[in-house]
Homo-oligomer: A and B are copies of this chain.
Amino acid sequence: MRTAFIDDLNRVTDGLVDMTRLAGSAIGRASIALLDGDIRLAEAVITSDRDIDQAREALDLLAIDLLARQAPVATDLRVVVTAMRMSADLERMGDLARHVAKVARLRYPDSAVPADLRGTVVQMGQVAERIVAKAGSVIASRDLEEARALEREDDAMDELHRELFSHVLADNFGHSTQTAVDLTLIGRYYERFADHAVSVARRVTFLVTGDYDTVVDREDEEDAVLTS
Protein backbone atom coordinates (compact mmCIF):
# COMPACT_ATOMS: atom_id res chain seq x y z
CA MET A 1 0.00 0.00 0.00
CA ARG A 2 2.64 2.49 1.09
CA THR A 3 4.95 1.54 -1.81
CA ALA A 4 2.09 1.88 -4.29
CA PHE A 5 1.31 5.28 -2.83
CA ILE A 6 4.90 6.45 -3.19
CA ASP A 7 4.98 5.19 -6.77
CA ASP A 8 1.81 7.15 -7.51
CA LEU A 9 3.23 10.27 -5.89
CA ASN A 10 6.37 9.95 -7.97
CA ARG A 11 4.24 9.75 -11.08
CA VAL A 12 2.46 12.93 -10.02
CA THR A 13 5.80 14.69 -9.49
CA ASP A 14 7.09 13.48 -12.87
CA GLY A 15 3.90 14.72 -14.49
CA LEU A 16 4.38 18.17 -12.97
CA VAL A 17 7.99 18.35 -14.14
CA ASP A 18 6.85 17.36 -17.64
CA MET A 19 4.32 20.18 -17.54
CA THR A 20 7.07 22.69 -16.73
CA ARG A 21 8.94 21.49 -19.82
CA LEU A 22 5.86 21.90 -22.00
CA ALA A 23 5.20 25.39 -20.60
CA GLY A 24 8.87 26.32 -21.06
CA SER A 25 8.86 25.17 -24.67
CA ALA A 26 5.61 27.07 -25.27
CA ILE A 27 6.83 30.40 -23.88
CA GLY A 28 10.21 30.05 -25.63
CA ARG A 29 8.61 29.43 -29.01
CA ALA A 30 5.91 32.06 -28.42
CA SER A 31 8.62 34.65 -27.74
CA ILE A 32 10.41 33.84 -31.01
CA ALA A 33 7.10 33.91 -32.89
CA LEU A 34 6.35 37.30 -31.37
CA LEU A 35 9.72 38.88 -32.02
CA ASP A 36 10.24 37.46 -35.50
CA GLY A 37 6.63 37.60 -36.67
CA ASP A 38 6.80 33.82 -37.29
CA ILE A 39 3.23 32.73 -38.01
CA ARG A 40 3.96 29.00 -38.26
CA LEU A 41 5.64 28.95 -34.89
CA ALA A 42 2.76 30.97 -33.45
CA GLU A 43 0.24 28.46 -34.81
CA ALA A 44 2.28 25.59 -33.39
CA VAL A 45 2.27 27.12 -29.91
CA ILE A 46 -1.49 27.76 -30.09
CA THR A 47 -2.19 24.18 -31.18
CA SER A 48 0.13 22.52 -28.71
CA ASP A 49 -1.46 24.25 -25.74
CA ARG A 50 -3.89 21.35 -25.89
CA ASP A 51 -1.04 19.04 -24.84
CA ILE A 52 -0.56 21.04 -21.64
CA ASP A 53 -4.30 21.00 -20.96
CA GLN A 54 -4.35 17.23 -21.44
CA ALA A 55 -1.30 16.75 -19.23
CA ARG A 56 -3.10 18.65 -16.51
CA GLU A 57 -6.26 16.63 -16.92
CA ALA A 58 -4.32 13.34 -16.76
CA LEU A 59 -2.45 14.51 -13.69
CA ASP A 60 -5.61 15.63 -11.91
CA LEU A 61 -7.35 12.35 -12.66
CA LEU A 62 -4.35 10.51 -11.25
CA ALA A 63 -4.49 12.69 -8.12
CA ILE A 64 -8.23 12.11 -7.66
CA ASP A 65 -7.78 8.38 -8.19
CA LEU A 66 -5.03 8.44 -5.60
CA LEU A 67 -7.27 10.24 -3.10
CA ALA A 68 -10.03 7.68 -3.68
CA ARG A 69 -7.85 4.55 -3.50
CA GLN A 70 -5.38 5.55 -0.80
CA ALA A 71 -7.34 8.05 1.32
CA PRO A 72 -4.14 9.81 2.35
CA VAL A 73 -4.08 11.99 5.48
CA ALA A 74 -1.75 14.64 6.94
CA THR A 75 1.35 15.34 4.84
CA ASP A 76 0.44 12.83 2.13
CA LEU A 77 -2.93 14.48 1.62
CA ARG A 78 -1.29 17.89 1.51
CA VAL A 79 1.10 16.68 -1.18
CA VAL A 80 -1.72 15.47 -3.42
CA VAL A 81 -3.87 18.59 -3.00
CA THR A 82 -0.86 20.84 -3.59
CA ALA A 83 0.01 18.92 -6.77
CA MET A 84 -3.44 19.70 -8.15
CA ARG A 85 -2.87 23.37 -7.46
CA MET A 86 0.53 23.31 -9.14
CA SER A 87 -0.99 21.66 -12.22
CA ALA A 88 -3.49 24.54 -12.38
CA ASP A 89 -0.63 27.07 -12.25
CA LEU A 90 1.26 25.27 -15.00
CA GLU A 91 -1.78 24.95 -17.22
CA ARG A 92 -2.34 28.68 -16.85
CA MET A 93 1.29 29.33 -17.82
CA GLY A 94 0.57 27.41 -21.02
CA ASP A 95 -2.47 29.62 -21.63
CA LEU A 96 -0.35 32.74 -21.19
CA ALA A 97 2.23 31.45 -23.70
CA ARG A 98 -0.67 30.84 -26.10
CA HIS A 99 -1.84 34.43 -25.57
CA VAL A 100 1.63 35.72 -26.53
CA ALA A 101 1.50 33.52 -29.66
CA LYS A 102 -1.94 34.91 -30.52
CA VAL A 103 -0.65 38.46 -30.47
CA ALA A 104 2.18 37.31 -32.79
CA ARG A 105 -0.34 35.71 -35.15
CA LEU A 106 -2.56 38.75 -35.12
CA ARG A 107 0.19 41.15 -36.20
CA TYR A 108 1.71 38.87 -38.84
CA PRO A 109 3.53 39.62 -41.14
CA ASP A 110 4.69 42.42 -38.83
CA SER A 111 6.05 41.95 -35.36
CA ALA A 112 3.92 43.39 -32.56
CA VAL A 113 7.14 44.61 -30.93
CA PRO A 114 8.82 47.71 -32.40
CA ALA A 115 12.59 47.58 -32.86
CA ASP A 116 13.37 49.95 -29.98
CA LEU A 117 11.51 47.72 -27.49
CA ARG A 118 12.82 44.43 -28.81
CA GLY A 119 15.62 44.21 -26.26
CA THR A 120 13.23 44.45 -23.30
CA VAL A 121 10.84 41.85 -24.69
CA VAL A 122 13.71 39.48 -25.59
CA GLN A 123 14.79 39.62 -21.96
CA MET A 124 11.24 39.04 -20.69
CA GLY A 125 11.11 35.89 -22.82
CA GLN A 126 14.45 34.73 -21.47
CA VAL A 127 13.45 35.30 -17.85
CA ALA A 128 10.19 33.42 -18.51
CA GLU A 129 12.09 30.44 -19.88
CA ARG A 130 14.52 30.45 -16.97
CA ILE A 131 11.86 30.80 -14.28
CA VAL A 132 9.76 27.88 -15.54
CA ALA A 133 12.87 25.68 -15.84
CA LYS A 134 13.69 26.58 -12.23
CA ALA A 135 10.12 25.76 -11.19
CA GLY A 136 10.62 22.27 -12.67
CA SER A 137 13.86 21.89 -10.80
CA VAL A 138 12.26 23.02 -7.51
CA ILE A 139 9.40 20.53 -7.94
CA ALA A 140 11.92 17.71 -8.41
CA SER A 141 14.41 18.75 -5.70
CA ARG A 142 12.17 20.39 -3.09
CA ASP A 143 15.17 22.56 -2.36
CA LEU A 144 14.14 25.65 -0.38
CA GLU A 145 17.21 27.63 -1.43
CA GLU A 146 16.36 27.02 -5.08
CA ALA A 147 12.76 28.03 -4.37
CA ARG A 148 13.96 31.32 -2.92
CA ALA A 149 16.37 31.91 -5.81
CA LEU A 150 13.48 31.55 -8.25
CA GLU A 151 11.89 34.66 -6.76
CA ARG A 152 14.85 36.73 -7.91
CA GLU A 153 13.91 35.86 -11.49
CA ASP A 154 10.47 37.21 -10.76
CA ASP A 155 12.01 40.43 -9.44
CA ALA A 156 13.88 40.67 -12.75
CA MET A 157 10.60 40.16 -14.63
CA ASP A 158 8.89 42.91 -12.64
CA GLU A 159 11.77 45.26 -13.40
CA LEU A 160 11.53 44.49 -17.13
CA HIS A 161 7.77 44.99 -16.98
CA ARG A 162 8.26 48.41 -15.40
CA GLU A 163 10.84 49.23 -18.09
CA LEU A 164 8.39 48.23 -20.82
CA PHE A 165 5.69 50.47 -19.35
CA SER A 166 8.00 53.41 -18.96
CA HIS A 167 8.77 53.16 -22.70
CA VAL A 168 5.08 52.87 -23.62
CA LEU A 169 4.16 55.89 -21.50
CA ALA A 170 7.13 58.04 -22.48
CA ASP A 171 6.42 61.24 -24.41
CA ASN A 172 8.63 60.02 -27.24
CA PHE A 173 6.94 56.58 -27.54
CA GLY A 174 6.25 57.28 -31.21
CA HIS A 175 4.18 54.19 -32.03
CA SER A 176 0.48 53.59 -32.57
CA THR A 177 -2.19 53.05 -29.93
CA GLN A 178 -2.47 49.49 -31.28
CA THR A 179 1.19 48.95 -30.40
CA ALA A 180 0.64 50.41 -26.93
CA VAL A 181 -2.30 48.03 -26.41
CA ASP A 182 -0.30 45.03 -27.68
CA LEU A 183 2.65 45.82 -25.42
CA THR A 184 0.36 46.33 -22.42
CA LEU A 185 -1.13 42.87 -22.89
CA ILE A 186 2.19 41.18 -23.72
CA GLY A 187 3.76 42.70 -20.62
CA ARG A 188 0.91 41.42 -18.48
CA TYR A 189 1.13 37.90 -19.97
CA TYR A 190 4.85 37.60 -19.21
CA GLU A 191 4.42 39.04 -15.73
CA ARG A 192 1.62 36.61 -14.88
CA PHE A 193 3.62 33.72 -16.34
CA ALA A 194 6.40 34.49 -13.86
CA ASP A 195 3.89 34.95 -10.99
CA HIS A 196 2.56 31.43 -11.54
CA ALA A 197 6.11 30.05 -11.47
CA VAL A 198 6.58 31.79 -8.11
CA SER A 199 3.33 30.25 -6.97
CA VAL A 200 4.65 26.77 -7.84
CA ALA A 201 7.86 27.39 -5.90
CA ARG A 202 5.89 28.66 -2.90
CA ARG A 203 3.65 25.63 -2.89
CA VAL A 204 6.76 23.44 -2.76
CA THR A 205 8.03 25.55 0.14
CA PHE A 206 4.69 25.06 1.88
CA LEU A 207 4.99 21.28 1.43
CA VAL A 208 8.43 21.26 3.01
CA THR A 209 7.86 23.75 5.83
CA GLY A 210 4.11 23.42 6.41
CA ASP A 211 3.90 27.21 6.62
CA TYR A 212 0.76 28.21 4.75
CA ASP A 213 1.70 31.90 4.86
CA THR A 214 4.32 31.24 2.21
CA VAL A 215 1.53 30.56 -0.28
CA VAL A 216 0.52 34.06 -1.26
CA ASP A 217 -0.07 35.01 -4.83
CA ARG A 218 2.75 37.22 -5.96
CA GLU A 219 0.26 39.89 -7.02
CA ASP A 220 -1.15 40.10 -3.50
CA GLU A 221 2.13 41.34 -2.09
CA GLU A 222 2.95 44.15 -4.37
CA ASP A 223 1.27 46.99 -6.08
CA ALA A 224 0.78 46.21 -9.73
CA VAL A 225 3.60 47.53 -11.88
CA LEU A 226 1.31 50.26 -13.13
CA THR A 227 1.03 51.83 -9.69
CA SER A 228 4.74 52.22 -9.13
Q: Which residues of A contact B (CB under 8 A)?
A: 49, 53, 57, 64, 67-68, 71, 73-74, 77-78, 81, 84-85, 88, 95, 99, 102-103, 105-106, 165, 168-169, 173, 177-178, 180-182, 184-185, 188, 212, 217, 219-220, 223-224, 226-227
Contacts and interface: CB of A to CB of B under 8 A. Distances in A.
Contacts of A53: 220
Contact of A81 (B64, B168, B212): B64
A220 B102 CA distance: 12
A223 B177 contact: no
Contacts of A219: 95
Given A64-B81, A73-B68, A188-B188, A102 B223 contact: yes
A105 B64 CA distance: 43
A67 B57 contact: no
B169 A226 contact: no
A77 B219 CA distance: 31
A103 B226 contact: yes
A178 B180 CA distance: 9
Contacts of A77: 64, 67-68
A24 to B, nearest CB: 20
A135 to B, nearest CB: 18
A68 B95 CA distance: 32
A201 B217 CA distance: 24
Contacts of A177: 168-169, 173, 177, 180
Contacts of A84: 81, 84
